[in-house]
């Protein structure tokens, strides 16, 4: 199953936004501005959903490895 299938944005853009949020702790609105400067118009609430979705998948994979 591809978690990025059916998304309106490319996989790389989603992962960049999630990585920037997690690593640097910047706000969703700041990320929205940074992406807009790079030509990607996305709402801060969409970035929030990306972070929730990607981190949920990462947690599930980590839990599966720990419990195995």
Classify residue 1: in a domain, yes or no. Answer: no
Could you report the per-residue pLDDT of 29-64, keeping only the tens digit for each?
999 999 999 999 999 999 999 999 988 887 777 777
DSSP 8-class letter at 38? T
> How many domains is the chain partitioned into structurally?
1
pTM of the model: 0.79
Classify residue 19: in a domain, yes or no. Answer: yes
More confident residue, 4 or 13: 13
| Nearest C-alpha neighbor of 44 from the set 56, 55, 31 | 31
More confident residue, 55 or 3: 55
Classify residue 29: in a domain, yes or no. Answer: yes
Classify residue 6: in a domain, yes or no. Answer: no
Instruction: Supply the range of the domain harboring residue 44.
Output: 11-67
The whole-angstrom separation of Cα 65 and Cα 47 is 27
């Amino acid at each position: 199953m591809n978690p990025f299938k059916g998304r309106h944005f490319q996989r790389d853009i989603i992962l960049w936004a999630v990585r920037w949020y997690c690593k640097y702790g910047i706000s969703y609105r700041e990320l929205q501005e940074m992406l807009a400067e790079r030509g990607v118009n996305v709402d801060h609430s969409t970035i929030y959903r990306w972070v929730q979705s990607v981190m949920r998948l990462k947690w599930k994979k980590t839990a599966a490895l720990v419990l195995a």
